[in-house]
Amino acid sequence: MAAPPVLLLDSIRFTLGGKPLLEGASLAVTPGERLALVGRNGSGKSTLLRIAAGELEAESGTRFVQPGTTMRYLPQEPDLSGHATVLDYALAGLGPADDPYRARHLLEALGLSGEEDPARLSGGEARRAALARALAPEPDILLLDEPTNHLDLPAIEWLEEELAAMRGALVLISHDRRFLGRLSRATLWLDRGATRRLDRPFSAFEEWRETVLAEEEQAAHKLGRQIAREEHWLRHGVSARRKRNMRRVGELHALRQARRDRVKPQGTVKLEAAEAAPSGALVAAAEGITKSFGGAPVVRDFSTRILKGDRVGLVGRNGAGKTTLLRMLTGALPPDSGSVRLGTNLLMATLDQMRAALDPNVTLADTLTEGRGDQVWVNNQPRHVIGYMGDFLFGPEQARTPVGKLSGGERGRLLLARALAAPSNLLVLDEPTNDLDLETLDLLEEMLADYGGTVLVVSHDRDFLDRVCTSVIFAEGEGRWVEYAGGYSDLLAQRGAGVEAARAPRAAAPAAKPAAAPAPAPSRPKLSFKDRHALETLPATMERLGKEIALLREWLSDPGLYARDPKGFETRTKGLAEREASLAAAEEEWLRLEMLREELEG
């Protein structure tokens, strides 16, 4: 028998701007659930998650949370205002019984000291602080809305490990296929206001979705044929009768109404880059380029040749200098030393990850036309702005909507619409996947595969890099950049390690000193913060596990338990084995740390 849900939404209805957004949507989360919530941009995923978190109230339907359940919610755009430091913000998310050391440990693991001013954080730093706040209480339910946005690859891979190890339930919205595929065990599809559940990981979702849509089309086709048959009967079959069969006429009206009421799937974005005349065979050649800021090398003695048709990805942790290198390769920033030679006949179109090019007060239509009437020039041909908006799934009623009112996904589509309208043979894309839904990502990947020009892309989406790139330039650390053939998975295969291995070369043994030079007194090594915290908390963990083991053994000692409740007997036997293994591991770890502490202090 399945465990009762700790969170339940049933028959949720919600209207936005006079248009129904959610119509009978449901969500059930059981203990330890791993649920991927997917759907098109604008389908209401974030709204459903906010209703689940209690931040929005549905117009109708039921919301139930098991008493005593702790829940934490990470919004797409965290608000850190009202807190003096990042640590204050993280600690404010703790309950009375929660451990403040965990908040400090998570901030440290995410690269933050806790003393930062929230008002001065970058998008990635704000997301890290919000993650620490959400994870610190170890909640029973964790609701995450696009947690990987603005995170670099080390942070994404760290977050994957942290979420995979957590005991609580997880409901996750993300455009990162690899992230969803690793963490989900079930998938909830929000489509046309309603939800459908697949009790399989996200990796099985896309094939299932295509099957569902194909079955819908087949049913609609059958409905159309049935209506045609009934209409033929209505015109010809009753002419010989003195009295019409009113029941059958009524059934025909019902069939017509069913066809009118059918909500069709949302259309697809029409992505097509406006291509200029071909560039020369050489797009850019860098020879020994170097760039430093404040004495710290960002790029050091890097050389590469980018040829027409290449798809080059730039990968590295935040602050490694990806944007700096990109600007040097495109001629926007001169190097301190070395040279960059650009090819001939280059026409460049760019996409900015921070959406800085969009004025929030300008309307959607004026953003596309640059305020010049109602025409958009696409590939040097005029098109009416309403028609071009439709290619990117914007309705005519949104033409006068200020950009600041658009969702993150809609702003992403708007930037794509602007970037792809101008003729180009070089596309420069800085985090193009942020906020885009999976269907739009598919089309973007197909468009880039068909694009006749050259593509330079900065991205932390591993699946996107694998599907698009012919080579990847990776930040090894300390200004050193290395180019690898293929996508991100090929980079890992060639390096033999992931992004965290950038620190490995610095672990080499120090060079021997001359005998005459006195060796400096070594500083006394200390336990790390994580080890100290483990030493303090492991005894309580072992005590709790011991009590749970004793209780399970007492239940299993009942000789009639298996006959009365075989399922319960199996569950408790499995739980006993898991807790005994956890207790043994905790005792070993505590013993190791205690011996290390005695050695360091002795």
Cα dist from 196 to 79, 109, 175, 359, whole Å: 31, 37, 18, 37
Residue type, 552: L
> Does 268 belong to an annotated binding site?
no
**Distance between CA 235 and CA 237 in Å, rounded?**
6
Domain boundaries, the chain: 7-207, 208-261, 282-502, 529-601
Identify the pLDDT of residue 221: 64
User: What is the tens place of the pLDDT at every residue in 401-421?
Assistant: 888 877 777 777 787 788 777
Count of beta carbons in the 10 Å neighbourhood of residue 371: 10
Of the candidates 95, 8, 45, 122, the residue with the CA atom closest to the CA atom of residue 438: 45
Query: DSSP labels for 517-562?
Result: SPPPPPPPP---HHHHHHHHHHHHHHHHHHHHHHHHHHHHT-TTHH
> Does 553 belong to an annotated binding site?
no
> Does 45 belong to an annotated binding site?
yes
> Does 60 belong to an annotated binding site?
no
Identify the pLDDT of residue 241: 46
> Does 123 belong to an annotated binding site?
no
> Does 323 belong to an annotated binding site?
yes
> Does 46 belong to an annotated binding site?
yes
> Does 322 belong to an annotated binding site?
yes
Residues with Cβ within 8 Å of 548's Cβ and at least 6 positions away in sequence, in order, are 575, 579
> Does 524 belong to an annotated binding site?
no
> Does 69 belong to an annotated binding site?
no
Of the candidates 543, 551, 552, 554, the residue with the CA atom closest to the CA atom of residue 573: 552
Token reading at 347: 């026409």
Tokens 């996904």 — which residue?
Answer: 409
Identify the pLDDT of residue 12: 95
> Does 345 belong to an annotated binding site?
no
Identify the pLDDT of residue 422: 76
Please report which helix (H) or strand (E) contains residue 495, including its range: helix 488-495
Identify the pLDDT of residue 442: 80
Classify domain 529-601 by CATH architecture: Orthogonal Bundle (1.10)
Residues with Cβ within 8 Å of 121's Cβ and at least 6 positions away in sequence, in order, are 80, 86, 129
Identify the pLDDT of residue 512: 38
Given the candidates 3.40.309.10, 3.40.50.300, 3.40.50.1820, 3.40.50.1100, the CATH classification of the domain at 7-207 is 3.40.50.300
Identify the pLDDT of residue 107: 93
Identify the pLDDT of residue 43: 84
> Does 42 belong to an annotated binding site?
yes
Please report which helix (H) or strand (E) contains residue 255, including its range: helix 246-261
Identify the pLDDT of residue 575: 85
Identify the pLDDT of residue 320: 85
Identify the pLDDT of residue 269: 56
Residue type, 592: R
| pTM beyond 0.75 | no
Q: Are 7-207 and 282-502 equal in CATH topology?
A: yes
Low-confidence ranges of the chain (pLDDT < 50): 239-244, 501-524
The length of the chain is 602
Classify domain 282-502 by CATH architecture: 3-Layer(aba) Sandwich (3.40)
For 253-263, b/e burial (b = at least 16 CB within 10 A) is eebeeeeeeee
> Does 184 belong to an annotated binding site?
no
Residue type, 384: H
Identify the pLDDT of residue 266: 54
**Distance between CA 331 and CA 327 in Å, rounded?**
6
User: What is the tens place of the pLDDT at every residue in 216-266?
Assistant: 777 766 666 666 665 555 555 554 443 445 555 555 556 556 655 555 555
Identify the pLDDT of residue 515: 41
Alpha helices in 381-479 (DSSP H): 385-391, 408-421, 438-450, 462-468
> Does 319 belong to an annotated binding site?
yes
